[in-house]
Amino acid sequence: MKKRYNTVNDYYRQLFGEKIFKLPIDAGFDCPNRDGTVAHGGCTFCTVSGSGDAIVAPEAPIREQFYKEIDFMHRKWPDVNKYLVYFQNYTNTHDKVEVIRERYEQAINEPGVVGVNIGTRPDCLPDETILYLAELSERMHVTLELGLQTTYEKTSELINRAHSYQLYIDIVKRVRELAPKVEIVSHLINGLPGETHEMMVENVRRLVRDNDINGVKLHLLHLMTNTRMQRDYHEGRLKLLSQEEYVSIICDQLEIIPKDIIIHRITGDAPRDMLIGPMWSLNKWEVLNAIDQEMERRGSWQGCKC
């Protein structure tokens, strides 16, 4: 069934002419929200291992990680031979540009690599780093995955995000000025403490209104073990979304996202042994199918209300 939104799978097939792998890599960077650069303790939803809980061999050297991820992916898709290197864990521009360059080059020059995705924060993109990304974008496809999570300053303070929405806007503009070929994908989380259905929809409305971006990742908040957010949950400040609520929120968000923006994610994965809830999120295909069915029931599609 053809999706009623602009999927990243369709986009990549059109861009590269075939199916590709996205290989998550832990390049050994820290986070400014953990090491004291901007704050301590990290975002309250983040586990001690960052966002790389699904990386096959995060402790291995970068090049070894690259080939272990390929071996893992080939078990399901043996014929795929084009790859995007995804520097995923923690903040992958949080160091001097010389260090960033040295670590990136360990993976992106391997055979079959057609692009790189870089997970980072807006407070770790000085001009010299952006200019390196501009240089990279002349060699391959470059995507900057910028964590935002919320546009509300109150929520941002509550989850210890440690940067403002205005900084996010400013950095997107700076990337556009210095590295126009770099694609920007913005991350938002649905289900953060205190945010209502209307606020989550407004997060998307502000994001696409205020920023020149190419893609969006919409995440469900996964409450994980070994996170500071556990206290919010146990003390009643956090209510986990039901599947029905989440599907309704996602469909409302898709309807106001311009149709040319690529939807890189509308749900997510979490390790079963670390997940406190919502447990329904483990049935990923059921959630995706429910979103498709609700969009069809409404007779709506991405951008129909923007």
Q: What is the identity of the amino acid at 160?
A: N
Q: What is the pTM of this model?
A: 0.94
Percent of the chain clearing pLDDT 90 (strictly above): 79
Inside any domain, residue 150 = yes
Q: Which of 198, 244, 246, 196 is nearest to 219 (CA)?
A: 246
Cβ neighbours for 188, distance < 8 A, ≥ 6 positions apart: 148, 149, 150, 200, 203, 204, 207, 216, 217, 218, 219
> For position 270, what pLDDT does the model report?
85
Inside any domain, residue 130 = yes
Q: Which residue has the higher pLDDT, 180 or 227?
A: 180
Q: Is the pLDDT of residue 50 over 70?
A: no
Number of domains in the chain: 1
> For position 269, what pLDDT does the model report?
83
Inside any domain, residue 2 = no
Classify residue 272 by its DSSP letter.
G
Domain that holds residue 231: 8-298
Inside any domain, residue 120 = yes
Query: Whole-angstrom Cα distance, residue 28 to residue 94?
Result: 10
Query: Whole-angstrom Cα distance, residue 180 to residue 33?
Result: 28
Q: Which of 76, 75, 87 is nearest to 113 (CA)?
A: 87
Q: What is the pLDDT of residues 215-264, one digit of tens each?
A: 999 999 999 998 888 988 888 888 999 999 999 999 999 999 999 999 99
Query: Whole-angstrom Cα distance, residue 306 to residue 295?
Result: 15
Inside any domain, residue 3 = no
Q: What is the pLDDT of residues 72-95, one digit of tens each?
A: 989 988 999 999 999 998 999 999
CATH number at residue 39: 3.30.750.200
Section 273-288 average pLDDT = 93
Task: Give me the phi and psi of 173, to 5 degrees please.
Answer: -65, -40
Inside any domain, residue 129 = yes
Classify residue 123 by its DSSP letter.
G
Give the Cβ contact number of residue 102 at 10 Å: 13
Inside any domain, residue 15 = yes
